[in-house]
Structure 1
Amino acid sequence: MNLIGAQSLVTLNFRFTLGDGTVVLSTFESTPATLQIGRGELGTRIEECLIGLAVGTHRTFELAEGEAFGQFHDALVEWIPRHELPADVDVEPRAVLTFTAPDGNAFSGQVLDVNDDAVQIDFNHPLAGRAVTFEVEVVGVS
């Protein structure tokens, strides 16, 4: 029996649900996801839930506030002067912008507010600080 280990390549269906029942992300209605454990593609705590599960396993995990996607940090909500953003960038509230760090890594932030001089952007994970239910069905392990 193949069990998920620290470096396994896994194929699975998963669903993240908020406490009010809102489904945030689900692959159950589409194509299962394939990912490499140990790369943090789903986050460390979520990957820990998967370790030891076998093909065919269907489990649900209740993850406390901040456990799945980290705590919300006020310091990651910033006002960026408009002149520092490219002119062709959509800066409407709720838009998600992608930035490139000096080291070449990309990161995203969601626009919260806009005024004539600056744009307020939240660089926290959209589910940071939230309790979530993580439902998983293991389809394949190699």
Structure 2
Amino acid sequence: MIRADQGDTVKVHYTGRLADGTVFDASPTDRPLHFIIGRKEVIPGFEQAVIGMYQGGKKTATIAPEQAYGPHRPELVEEIKRSLLPADLTLEPGRQLEVDPAEGQKFVVMVKAVGEEMVTLDANHPLAGRELIFDIELLEVTKGGAPKNAH
């Protein structure tokens, strides 16, 4: 049996969910996720969950925020005057906006609340501070290289 380890290319199917059962992501059935262990192509906790798995194996892994998208950082939540945003911008809680500050480095924020004069924006990753549960099936392990049928 082939065991996944550092430097191996793996192909997995996964379903990611929250503690309440809400599914936030899943690999399409016809397109498993490919990544190389150790290259930081996936969140650290997911990579650690795959290490040591055997090809054909399945497991459920619970990943703490520190090994996923980090803790929720209150300093990344800001209330700004609505007048500072374009007048034609549709603002509703849950909507993501791409922000381009003067420094020119674009990033995404989530609209958390909309008031008459103020808007609350959150630059945290939507899954920051959340414990994530992944059901993982390891379909293929290629030792130290890319699988022959990689896309």
TM-score of the superposition, structure 2-length normalised? 0.72
Tell whether the 8 Å contact from 1:13 to 1:138 is kept in structure 2 after alignment. Answer: yes
* Partner residue in 1 for 2:145: none
* Partner residue in 2 for 1:36: 36
Tell whether the 8 Å contact from 2:44 to 2:67 is kept in structure 1 after alignment. Answer: no
SS in structure 2 opposite 1:47?
helix
Aligned-residue RMSD, C-alpha: 2.8
* Partner residue in 2 for 1:132: 132
CA distance in 2, matches of 1:80, 1:35: 39
SS in structure 2 opposite 1:41?
coil
CA distance in 2, matches of 1:122, 1:138: 35
CA distance in 2, matches of 1:87, 1:39: 43
Tell whether the 8 Å contact from 2:45 to 2:64 is kept in structure 1 after alignment. Answer: no
How many residues are paired up? 141
SS in structure 2 opposite 1:49?
helix
* Partner residue in 2 for 1:10: 10
TM-score of the superposition, structure 1-length normalised? 0.76
| Structure possessing the higher radius of gyration over alpha carbons | 2
Seen in structure 2, the aligned counterparts of structure 1 residues 30 and 18 have a Cα distance that, compared at 3 Å, is farther
* Partner residue in 1 for 2:112: 112
* Partner residue in 2 for 1:59: 59
Which string of whole-angstrom CA distances, capped at 9 and with x for unpartnered residues, describes residues 42-88 of structure 1?
A: 31122111122232121111234554332111111122444655566
For structure 2, list consecutive stretches of 5 or more residues without a partner in the other structure: 143-151
CA distance in 2, matches of 1:119, 1:40: 35
